[in-house]
Amino acid sequence: MKIRLNETFITDNSSECEKDCFFLSCFQNAKFKDEALKKGAKIIDVREAKRLLGIDEAIKIIGITGTNGKTTTAAAIYSILLDLGFKCGLCGTRGAFINDEKIDEKSLTTSPILKTLEYLQKATLKGCEFFVMEVSSHALVQRRIEGLEFAAKIFTNLTQDHLDFHGSFENYKEAKESFFTDESLKFINKDAFHIHFNVKNAYTYGIENPAFYQIKAYALENEIDALILAKNQSFHIQSPLLGLFNLYNLLAASACVNELVKPNLADLERAISGFGGVCGRVEKIVEGVIVDFAHTPDGIEKVLDSLKNKSLIVVFGAGGDRDKSKRALMGKMVAHYAKNAIITSDNPRSEDPKSIMQEILRGFEGKNTPLMIEDRKLAIYKALELKKEDDLVIILGKGDETYQEIKGVKYPFSDKEVVLNFYKNQGK
């Protein structure tokens, strides 16, 4: 990509280089530096790129990493800060936003560094004081955040995912740990799988284990209601969101905002309650039908456990060209919680959907034998046809994605639209 300057531009792609342009050299493209030089480009690093782009170094960048919860925690911080009167930017799985305006569509969870600098330039022009971003394990290994200074960092949790990329859980864990070695403000989930982190300027949060931000009492029946103690302070989290996992997300978000801006606690409570959640994350499409992005064993367990008092019909699959070892584990989780389960296709990518479905099926071990319907639209329709008045249909894996990736092609597809079309055709 390239960013225009007055009479030239900055690029991270050597094939775009020409005389007197600027080539942003970083970990990912360093081997193309000589090619850029031959074309007459001036080589710059991230610090120089920030100066050329006029990025305000006073913008406080907040980074969130973890297997699950990044998107909701980031969105909650963004929402709370805006409600408290601050100007703020956000980038991650859902795209990029500045002061309640969407400026870019969905892409990678963490963009290449030049794209992030473009967002920070726009945030500067809009007077932002904060910028919130999701930080993936892939980005940490590939150093897509090099040169960025973080005012605060959050660790949500660590469970099995992305082993196709990292090779082992230990490598995945080390990638996450690499984000927490400095002396920036850090917020660590004390109840999650333990990671090593620099204790300087670190705050812990949790429910089960002693933590600086400690939940002392909570209720999760139809919404979240919790009392938080933090040294000599206390405040409430009241939210329309569902589930223990969302309580952790809101706790992390509120702890981070509280330490960064020291707001009046009554204002903080109001801002927390004003956050309505994220599209595709336990999103109610119509009464009795929910769509969620959960695509790991832990993510599925957290969502289904939060709704276990309902009679559940679950539609789900698993992505192709990704960690195969989690597929049977996903099936096992659904088998444990669902009254009825339908295994279908997710984003099979280059793999055969039927093979993926058979690997998921192993997790059922003869329990509640699921239906196998490869066509995702037909699988969703079948679930809705099976639904009785007291049932809850949960469609997992894709959330608010608007495509299905098959053999290198992204076909338009939305779980939400399929549900709405079903009821439209039913005349409801």
Domains of the chain: 2-52 (3.40.1390), 54-273 (3.40.1190.10), 283-425 (3.90.190.20)
DSSP 56: -
Name every residue whose Cβ is closer than 8 Å to that of residue 74 and which is 6 or more positions away in sequence. Answer: 62, 64, 90, 92, 132, 133, 134
Answer yes or no: pTM beyond 0.95: no
317 is in an annotated binding site: no
d(CA 309, CA 2): 52
68 is in an annotated binding site: yes
221 is in an annotated binding site: no
110 is in an annotated binding site: yes
pLDDT at position 309, please? Answer: 87
Is 2 a residue whose pLDDT tops 90? yes
14 is in an annotated binding site: yes
399 is in an annotated binding site: no
pLDDT tens-place string over residues 23-82: 999 999 999 999 999 999 999 999 999 999 999 999 999 999 999 999 999 999 999 999
347 is in an annotated binding site: yes
Whole-number mean pLDDT of the chain? 95
Of 97-101, 102-106, 417-421, the poorest mean pLDDT is in 102-106
> What percent of the chain has pLDDT above 90?
91
Q: What is the mean pLDDT of residues 415-427?
A: 94
Helices 70-83 and 265-273: crossing angle in degrees, nearest 10, is 130
71 is in an annotated binding site: yes
**How does residue 218 score in pLDDT terms, banded at 50, 70 and 90?**
very high
**How does residue 428 score in pLDDT terms, banded at 50, 70 and 90?**
low
Backbone angles phi, psi at 152, to 5 degrees: -155, 150
222 is in an annotated binding site: no
* Triad 62, 140, 17: Cα angle to 5°: 100
51 is in an annotated binding site: no
Is 160 a residue whose pLDDT tops 80? no
69 is in an annotated binding site: yes
348 is in an annotated binding site: yes
142 is in an annotated binding site: yes
* Triad 278, 59, 234: Cα angle to 5°: 60
246 is in an annotated binding site: no
Is 225 a residue whose pLDDT tops 90? yes
Query: How far is the CA of 262 from the CAs of 81, 104, 254, 256, in angstroms?
Result: 11, 31, 11, 10
> What percent of the chain has pLDDT above 70?
100
72 is in an annotated binding site: yes
65 is in an annotated binding site: no
d(CA 96, CA 191): 30
d(CA 194, CA 206): 13
